[in-house]
């Protein structure tokens, strides 16, 4: 029997306004709060419930109030060249510094063709895809990534040495359509194990190992073990590829930026230590290669070839990366976003703690 | 019972010399033949038997002799900027134009911080990792990719709309060590299905679908169906991520370059049409971000953290991407490369066709 959850619907601008009020009341500047609000509400708008409002209390407000994150941090540029940028976030929130850095990367790519940047000593920045997508309206390809705390084991290992280390790529198509790949380099996020445990369901092969490094379908055993990289256990189904991608992300973010990496990205109580997260951003100008209108037309043609191709067993149709999120965006902007009761209660607590009005439902 | 294959050993310089002689006798210029020889022998040196000597006859010599590939093609630069480059290979061999383009990307990254290039109207270029690795000695991060003919189906589809579309990243560490991720974005290469069929063994989950789009463990059914993207069937174990990466490669190579993409990359007799393969190359200068010696030291530290971590069930130890290939390189350079009888026979035929001496075994 499916668990029926009574969701409460809110319009996106209402939720965004609440995030901004909460962050400002926590001590964040209005400018930074506005940027963080854009990123966090975008996550729920796109249907990625795990990375938006659900994290406001525990990942941001509580950590600002207890002094873990510096709400007034001013990021410092460490190195700058025509095509690159190295930024120290000085333990501020991850979102504002990431938006500003990606904007600078886009400006640099405009004069340079391509550009890349690292941000170190940052904190959780939400969905990587948001920053990659900032490139879309500039007719550029956007790339964004972040390292994160140890949850996944390397192939044939059993220690949690790698985060879910997402990779995001955004590529513009015609008429506002796009290709947006925003993927953890593990098979699944940790939350999938928690959900399976709560529902009493077995895990799927390729998700997790137990504490001895054996593949397991038992959620509790997986939670005492580690996540598997994309491709699953061992090398037979390509687990070494997902592991390689995860390590690549850690190198591009943590090592290239000169920040923390590997097992130094420790966790306490499920949360990363402050100030040890690093990000990587890049942009490539399309018109340096070919006419952007022709490029977008061809991307749309390729996407249509996929979407229009015959469905195989088990599927209604073929989607392209970012298409389900674009469909949910259209629905959510029109009808509002349904939040889980657990999230609604968390927003209530935030409002009480900070003495602000809670968000008003639809 | 394991099939015992009697291999013949050759030293790498002997094999390289043979490739160069064969290509020159086929009509390729000595300069281009030397570059192609470097790439092709590097594949066998690294233990990637599928992409080197094994392809000399069918993919290169025969296709030059029958006029499919132009051995005297001169590549043309279509667009050039401080950080980018668009090249038309004019239906020449894929290797020389790719080496030259990656070298130009490295030069551009030197003055610019980062640079990217596309090559269109090219042919098979061998192992993507070779080009990415050209960046290593320049203290840069190298990136290389190519699209290829349809063998894989998109998630929940059944048509072969995507190639194995490899992604390669090379990152320098200390003392000549490195991180080299060179991975097909499908779970396995097509050759794995052929091997399973020959040995009468079932496929593994996540490798292939049958012609109706059902996951299959039957090699013959898989060969009539399609390869699955990394992550396997459906979305449960992340198959949509491998599919996304495959489509990303096709966009960066085929669409960005203005070449062929998607189902236009057709095959005849197992081989791609000439002149429709596109590649993507990029380089990022490390010292634009931080001192390269410190960077290499930290990469080595991260690699050591992985390699030194506890082995889990089913594994002797943890490797890092490119490490098995580096181990094989050391062995092969010292002891020679053992070639399969099928490959040795193919090289004999090449020698006879072209009236040149075959390679001499150790």
Contact A89, A123 (CB under 8 A): yes
Mean pLDDT of B69-89: 95
CA gap B116, A114 in Å, rounded: 7
User: Which of residues 9 through 68 in chain A touch B, CB cutoff 8 A?
Assistant: none
Query: Looking at beta carbons, which residues of chain A come within 8 Å of B295?
Result: 255-256, 258
Please tell me the distance from the alpha carbon of residue B200 to that of residue B220, in angstroms, as a whole number.
10
Cite the DSSP H helix spans in chain A: 12-26, 30-45, 62-65, 94-112, 128-133, 190-199, 219-224, 239-250, 256-257, 292-307, 323-335, 341-354
- Residue B161's SS3 state is coil
**CB half-sphere exposure, A59, CA atoms < 13 A:** 21
Contact B309 A161 (CB under 8 A): yes
C-alpha span between B186 and B160 (Å, rounded): 12
Contact A348, A55 (CB under 8 A): no
Going by C-beta distance under 8 Å and a sequence separation of 6 or more, which residues neighbour residue A88?
Answer: A75, A76, A77, A78, A119, A120, A121
**Is residue B233 a contact partner of residue B215, using CB atoms and an 8 Å limit?**
yes
- Please identify among residues 243-302 of chain B the ones whose CB lies closer than 8 Å to any CB of chain A: 243-245, 247-248, 250-252, 254-258, 261-263, 282, 284-286, 288-290, 294-295, 298-299, 301-302
For tokens 């439902």, what's the residue?
A361
| Residue A207 token pair | 């998700």
Give the minimum alpha-carbon distance from B301 to chain A in angstroms, rounded to a whole number.
9
Q: Which residue ranges in chain A fall short of pLDDT 70?
A: 1-4, 267-270, 272
User: B169 and A248: CB-CB below 8 Å?
Assistant: yes
* pLDDT for B1: 44
Q: At how many degrees (to 10) do helices A341-354 and A12-26 cross?
A: 40
B293: three-class secondary structure by DSSP: helix
Give the residue from chain B lying closest to A105, CA to CA. Answer: B114
- Interface check for A213 against chain B (CB to CB < 8 A): the answer is yes
Nearby residues of B48 by Cβ (< 8 Å), 6 or more positions away:
B127, B325
- When pLDDT is cut at 50, 70 and 90, the band that residue B270 belongs to is low
Question: Judging by DSSP bridges, how do beta strands B84-88 and A114-122 pair with one another?
Answer: unpaired
Using a CB-CB cut-off of 8 Å, the residues of chain B touching A319 are 155-156, 240
Mean pLDDT (chain B, rounded): 95
Q: How many CB pairs under 8 A join A and B?
A: 319
Give the span between the Cα atoms of B127 and B48, in whole angstroms. 8
Closest-CA residue to A166 (of A183, A144, A141): A183
Bigger pLDDT: A139 vs B314: A139
Q: What distances in angstroms separate CA A60 from CA A86, A189, A257, A353, B293, one per listed residue? A: 24, 20, 23, 13, 36
Using DSSP, how many helices (H) and how many strands (E) does chain B show? 12, 13
Q: Which two tokens stand for residue A169?
A: 């790529």
Tokens linked to A135: 């490139």
Q: Provide the CA A362 distance to its chain's centre, in angstroms.
A: 27
To which residue do tokens 């190639």 refer? B163
In the prediction, which pLDDT does B159 show? 95
Mutate to test the interface with A, among B118, B128, B241 (most CBs of A within 10 A): B241
pLDDT value at position A269? 56
The pLDDT value given to residue A1: 44
* CA–CA distances in Å: residue A171 to residues A47, A111, A180, A298: 20, 19, 6, 11
- The whole-angstrom distance between B213's CA and the closest CA on chain A is 4
- Determine contact, residues B170/A331, Cβ cutoff 8 Å: no
- What is the spatial distance between Cα B187 and Cα B230, in angstroms, rounded to a whole number? 4
* Helices H / strands E in chain A, number of each: 12, 13
Q: Which pLDDT band, with edges at 50, 70 and 90, does B4 fall under?
A: low
**B332 min Cα distance to partner chain A (Å):** 23
In angstroms, the CA A232 to CA A244 distance is: 12
Instruction: Tell whether B115 lies on the interface with A, counting CB pairs under 8 A.
Output: yes
Q: Which residues of A touch B189 (CB under 8 A)?
A: none
Q: Where are the alpha helices (DSSP H) in B239-285?
A: 239-250, 256-257
Please give the biggest Cα pair distance in chain A: 58
The token duo for B141 is: 């991060």
Per-position DSSP letters for A209-222, written without gaps between them: E-TTS-B---HHHH
Give me B62's structure tokens: 């025969």
Asked if the C-beta of A323 comes within 8 angstroms of chain B's C-beta atoms, the answer is no
- How close is the nearest chain B Cα to the Cα of A349, in Å? 34
Phi, psi for residue B215 in degrees, rounded to 5: -60, 140
- How far lies A122's CA from each of A126, A146, B185, in Å? 12, 10, 31
Taking the CA atoms of residue B39, residue B41, residue B46 and residue B49 in that order, the dihedral angle to the nearest 10 degrees is: 110
Burial class (CB in 10 A: 0-12, 13-18, 19+), B110: middle
Beta strand residue intervals within chain B, DSSP E: 8-10, 76-81, 84-88, 114-122, 140-146, 167-172, 178-183, 208-209, 226-227, 267-268, 271-272, 277-285, 337-339
Q: What is the pLDDT of residues B137-193, one digit of tens each?
A: 999 999 999 999 889 999 999 999 999 999 999 999 999 999 999 999 999 988 899
Q: Which of B158, B236, B258 sits opposite A290 (nearest CB)?
A: B258
Per DSSP, the residues of B52-94 read TGGGIIIIIIHHHHTTSS-TT---EEEEEETTEEEEE-TT--H
C-beta pairs of B176-180 under 8 Å, 24+ apart in sequence: B177/B300, B177/B303, B177/B326, B178/B133, B178/B136, B178/B322, B178/B326, B179/A247, B179/A248, B179/A251, B179/B299, B179/B303, B179/B320, B179/B321, B179/B322, B180/B129, B180/B132, B180/B133, B180/B321, B180/B322, B180/B325, B180/B326
> Residue range B335-347: average pLDDT?
96
Name which of A81, A187, A298 is nearest B113 (Cβ-Cβ).
A81
Could you give the CA distance from residue B308 to residue A52 in angstroms, rounded to a whole number? Answer: 37
Q: Beta partners for A178?
A: A172
Residue A145, chain B, CB below 8 Å: the answer is no
Which residue bears the tokens 């943890």? B318
DSSP reduced 3-state for B21: helix
- Neighbouring CB atoms inside 10 A of B99's CB total 20
């Amino acid at each position: 029997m499916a668990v029926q959850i009574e969701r409460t619907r809110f319009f996106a601008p209402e939720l965004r306004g609440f995030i901004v009020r909460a962050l400002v009341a926590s001590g964040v500047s209005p400018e930074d709060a506005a940027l963080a609000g854009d990123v966090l509400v975008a996550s729920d708008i796109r249907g990625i419930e795990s990375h938006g409002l659900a994290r406001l209390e525990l990942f941001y407000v509580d950590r600002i109030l207890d002094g873990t994150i510096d709400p007034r941090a001013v990021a410092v540029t460490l190195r700058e060249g025509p095509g690159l940028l190295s930024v120290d976030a000085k333990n501020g929130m991850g979102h504002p510094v990431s938006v500003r850095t990606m904007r600078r990367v886009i400006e640099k790519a405009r004069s340079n063709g391509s550009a890349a940047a690292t941000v170190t000593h940052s904190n959780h920045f939400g969905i990587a895809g948001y920053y990659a997508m900032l490139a879309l309206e500039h007719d550029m390809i956007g790339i964004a990534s972040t390292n994160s705390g140890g949850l996944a084991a390397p192939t044939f290992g059993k220690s949690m040495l790698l985060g879910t280390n997402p990779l995001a790529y955004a590529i513009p198509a015609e008429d506002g359509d796009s290709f947006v790949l925003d993927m953890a380099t593990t098979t699944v996020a940790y939350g999938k194990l928690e959900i399976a445990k709560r529902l009493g369901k077995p895990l799927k092969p390729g998700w997790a190992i137990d504490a001895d490094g054996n593949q397991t379908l038992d959620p509790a055993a997986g939670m005492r073990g580690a996540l598997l990289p994309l491709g699953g256990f061992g090398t037979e189904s390509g687990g070494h590829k997902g592991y390689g991608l995860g390590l690549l992300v850690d190198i591009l973010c943590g090592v290239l930026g000169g920040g923390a990496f590997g097992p130094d990205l420790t966790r306490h109580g499920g949360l990363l230590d402050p100030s040890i997260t690093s990000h990587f951003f890049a942009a490539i100008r399309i018109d340096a290669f070919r006419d952007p209108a022709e490029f977008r037309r061809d991307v749309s043609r390729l996407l249509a070839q996929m979407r229009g191709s015959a469905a195989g067993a088990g599927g209604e149709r073929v989607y392209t990366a970012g298409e389900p999120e674009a469909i949910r965006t259209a629905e959510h902007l029109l009808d509002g976003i349904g939040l889980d009761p657990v999230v609604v209660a968390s927003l209530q607590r935030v409002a009480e703690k900070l003495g602000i009005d809670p968000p008003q439902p639809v």
